[in-house]
C-alpha cells in the first residue's frame, strides 16, 4: 500500500471552506447550459461536462468516504461510470449517465457527508487533511478544464465572471529581460512544503548556467507580428513534428483568432472582440511557441530556469545563486487578488504589465496566473519518483509526449498553484489556457 505524503495538516474549518467553495464553483461552471451542451461533442480534448461533475463527486466518495471512512458506495454502479482510471475517455459520451438533477443530488449527498464529518472532527487527522486537500485540488483542476471547455465549445462565459477593472486592463506592456546568475538550484519540492503533488518529488540539485529571461510573457502584439510575417507558412521555423501538426490541421494563426475588417479579433467564450495588444497570447500550443521563438531568435526556458526565475532571491554582492527560495514569486504568502490574475473572476487574461505586486524577486511579472507557460522540458518523473495514492495522476503521462507548463492561468484557483507545481499537456494542445515567456539564446 502506498503511504500518504506527510503534508502540512490544516484545520477542519479551512477544509470545510474549500470543500464548499470547490463545490459551488463546479455548479457555477455548468450554470445556464442545457442538456445537449452538458454532453457536447465527442472530442479527445474535453470530457462531457455532465460526466465531469459526477466524476469529481465520485473522487471524494472513493478517496474519503470509502477508503478513509469505509462507507458503502452511494451509487452501486458509480465505479462503472466515474472511475477515470477504468473508464476510457472516448466511452464517456456513451455511458448511461444520470440526468443533471440526479447527478447534483449525488454530489450533494457526498458533500454533506464530508461536511458533517468535518464538523464533528471525525476527519481530524494528518492523513485525512492530505486526502481532503487532494480531492479538492482534483476538483479545482476539473473546474479549470470545465472553464476552457466552455471556451472551446463556444458557450457563453460563466455567469459569475466580472468585467476587468479599467485600472488593471490598462496595465500595458512590460518589455525587457532580467539577467539571472548561474549556480545550483534545488529543483522540485521538499518534504517540508505545505503541500505538493507527486511529480514534484523530490528536490534535487539542478545546475543552471547564467541566463536572461523575459520580464513578461509574449503578447498578442508580438505574436501577431509573427503571424503577419507568414510565420505559419515558413517550414524552417518549425520543428519537424510541429510542421507536421501545422500541415495536418491547417493552422495559420492562433486557434481563436480571426481577421475582421482587416484587424485581428479573438474569441472569448462565444464572442469575438478586437485583439488586446498587450494581453499575453493564449491558446497556443508548444509547437507554435517554439516556432515563434525560432522566428524571434529566442528560446523557451527549461523548467528549472523558470523555477529559478520565479523562486530565487538575489543576494547582494553575489554572482551565483545563493540564499532562500520563495513558494510563490512574491514570497511565501498565498496569492491574493493583488498578486495575480487567478480564480477565474475576470474570465480572461489581463495586460502583461499588470499586477506588479506579484513580481518575482528577480523582477519577472505574472509568473503566476494569467496564462500557463510552456517550457522546453518534457514531462518526466524526477530521479527516484514514487507515485502517491492517486497513482494515475502523473506516472501514465511520463511518455515523452507531454511538455511541462508552469505558473497557472486566470482560471486556476489560487490554492492549487505554487512555484514547484508542474502542469503538463501534449505539445499539440491549444485549447488550454497557455502562453509562454522566452529566454535569450545562449551565448556560444
Local confidence pLDDT in tens for the 444 residues of the chain:
456 788 889 999 999 999 999 999 999 999 999 999 999 999 999 999 999 999 999 999 999 999 999 999 999 899 999 999 899 999 999 999 999 999 999 999 999 999 999 998 888 888 999 999 999 999 999 999 999 999 999 999 999 999 888 777 668 999 999 999 999 999 999 999 999 999 999 988 889 999 999 999 999 999 999 999 999 999 999 999 999 999 999 999 999 999 999 999 999 999 999 999 999 999 999 999 999 999 999 999 999 999 999 999 998 777 888 777 999 999 999 999 999 999 999 999 999 999 999 999 999 999 999 999 999 999 999 998 999 999 999 999 999 999 999 999 999 999 999 999 999 999 999 999 999 999 999 864
Helix or strand (DSSP H, E) at 260 = strand 257-260
Selection from 14, 1, 21, 52 nearest residue 128 by Cα: 14
The grid coordinates of residue 65 equal 468516504
CATH class of 165-444: alpha beta
User: Within 10 Å of residue 96's Cβ, how many Cβ atoms?
Assistant: 7
Name beta bridge partners: 280: 219
Burial environment of residue 167 by CB neighbours within 10 A (0 to 12, 13 to 18, 19 or more): exposed
Nearest to 230 by CA among 253, 248, 246: 253
Vertex 290: Cα angle to 90 and 411 (nearest 5): 55
Return the SS3 of 300.
Answer: coil
- Which of 419, 364, 354, 323 has its CA nearest to residue 211? 364
Is residue 366 within 8 A of residue 310, CB to CB? The reply is no
Contact 424, 381 (CB under 8 A): no
Residue 178 · residue 309 · CB < 8 Å? yes
Output the pLDDT for position 315: 80
Between CA 253 and CA 412, with CA 157 as vertex, the angle to 5 degrees is: 80
Domain positions in the chain are 12-152, 165-444
Helix (H, G, I), strand (E, B) or coil at 291: helix
Q: How far apart are CA 421 and CA 306, in angstroms?
A: 11
CB half-sphere exposure, 213, CA atoms < 13 A? 31
Report yes or no: 281 and 221 within 8 Å, Cβ to Cβ.
no
Kindly give the residue spans of alpha helices, DSSP state H, lying in 192-285. 220-228, 240-249
Q: How many residues are listed for the chain in this entry?
A: 444
Contact criterion met (CB below 8 Å) for 394 and 331: no
Greatest Cα-to-Cα distance within the chain, rounded to the nearest angstrom: 66
Centre a 10 Å sphere on the Cβ of residue 250 and count the other Cβ atoms it contains: 7
Which runs of consecutive H residues, i.e. helices, occur in 96-163?
100-119, 126-152
The CATH number of the domain covering residues in 12-152: 1.20.120.450
Smallest Cα–Cα separation from 437: which of 276, 291, 299?
Answer: 299
Backbone phi, then psi, for 340, in 5-degree steps?
Answer: -160, 160
CB atoms within 10 A of CB 73: 13
**Distance, CA of 325 to CA of 337 (rounded, Å):** 22
Query: For residue 103, which of 16, 23, 44, 45 has the smallest C-alpha distance?
Result: 23
Give the pairing of strands 434-435 and 372-378. parallel
What is the predicted pLDDT for the residue at 444?
47
Q: Give the integer Cα–Cα distance in Å for 428 and 239.
A: 12
Q: What are phi and psi of 106, to 5 degrees?
A: -60, -45
**Matching fold, domains 12-152 and 165-444:** no
Q: Does the pTM of the predicted model rise above 0.85?
A: yes
Q: What is the pLDDT of residue 2?
A: 59
Amino acid at each position: 500500500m502506498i503511504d500518504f505524503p506527510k503534508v502540512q495538516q490544516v484545520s477542519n474549518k479551512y477544509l470545510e471552506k474549500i470543500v464548499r467553495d470547490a463545490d459551488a464553483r463546479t455548479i457555477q461552471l455548468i450554470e445556464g447550459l442545457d442538456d445537449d451542451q452538458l454532453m457536447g461533442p465527442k472530442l479527445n480534448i474535453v470530457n462531457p461536462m455532465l460526466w465531469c461533475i459526477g466524476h469529481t463527486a465520485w473522487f471524494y466518495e472513493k478517496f474519503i468516504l470509502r477508503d478513509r471512512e469505509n462507507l458503502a458506495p452511494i451509487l452501486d454502479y458509480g465505479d462503472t461510470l466515474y472511475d477515470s482510471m477504468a473508464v476510457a475517455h472516448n466511452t464517456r459520451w456513451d455511458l448511461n449517465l444520470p440526468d443533471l438533477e440526479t447527478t447534483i443530488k449525488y454530489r450533494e449527498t457526498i458533500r454533506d457527508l464530508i461536511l458533517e464529518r468535518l464538523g464533528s472532527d471525525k476527519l481530524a487527522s494528518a492523513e485525512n487533511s492530505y486526502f481532503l486537500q487532494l480531492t479538492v485540488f482534483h476538483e479545482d483542476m476539473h473546474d479549470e478544464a470545465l472553464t476552457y471547455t466552455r471556451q472551446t465549445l463556444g458557450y457563453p462565459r460563466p455567469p459569475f465572471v466580472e468585467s476587468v477593472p479599467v485600472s488593471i486592463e490598462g496595465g500595458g506592456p512590460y518589455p525587457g529581460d532580467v539577467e539571472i546568475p548561474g549556480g545550483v538550484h534545488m529543483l522540485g519540492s521538499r518534504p517540508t512544503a505545505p503541500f505538493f503533488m507527486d511529480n514534484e518529488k523530490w528536490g534535487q540539485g539542478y545546475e543552471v548556467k547564467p541566463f536572461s529571461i523575459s520580464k513578461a510573457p509574449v503578447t498578442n502584439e508580438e505574436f501577431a507580428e509573427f503571424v503577419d510575417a507568414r510565420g505559419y507558412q515558413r517550414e524552417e521555423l518549425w520543428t519537424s513534428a510541429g510542421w507536421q501538426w501545422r500541415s495536418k490541421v491547417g493552422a495559420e494563426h492562433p486557434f481563436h483568432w480571426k481577421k475582421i475588417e482587416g484587424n485581428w479579433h479573438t474569441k472569448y467564450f462565444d464572442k469575438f472582440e478586437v485583439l488586446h495588444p498587450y494581453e499575453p497570447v493564449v491558446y497556443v500550443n508548444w509547437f507554435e511557441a517554439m516556432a515563434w521563438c525560432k522566428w524571434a531568435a529566442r528560446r523557451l526556458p527549461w523548467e528549472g530556469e523558470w523555477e529559478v526565475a520565479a523562486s530565487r532571491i538575489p543576494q547582494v554582492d553575489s554572482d551565483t545563486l545563493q540564499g532562500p527560495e520563495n513558494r510563490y514569486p512574491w514570497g511565501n504568502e498565498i496569492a491574493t487578488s493583488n498578486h495575480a490574475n487567478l480564480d477565474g473572476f475576470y474570465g480572461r487574461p489581463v495586460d502583461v504589465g499588470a499586477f506588479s505586486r506579484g513580481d518575482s524577486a528577480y523582477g519577472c511579472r505574472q509568473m503566476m496566473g494569467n496564462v500557463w507557460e510552456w517550457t522546453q522540458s518534457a514531462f518526466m518523473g524526477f530521479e527516484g519518483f514514487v507515485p502517491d495514492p492517486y497513482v494515475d495522476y502523473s506516472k501514465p503521462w511520463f511518455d515523452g509526449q507531454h511538455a511541462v507548463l508552469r505558473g497557472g492561468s486566470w482560471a486556476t484557483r489560487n490554492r492549487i498553484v505554487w512555484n514547484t507545481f508542474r502542469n503538463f499537456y501534449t505539445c499539440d494542445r491549444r485549447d488550454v489556457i497557455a502562453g509562454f515567456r522566452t529566454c535569450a539564446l545562449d551565448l556560444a
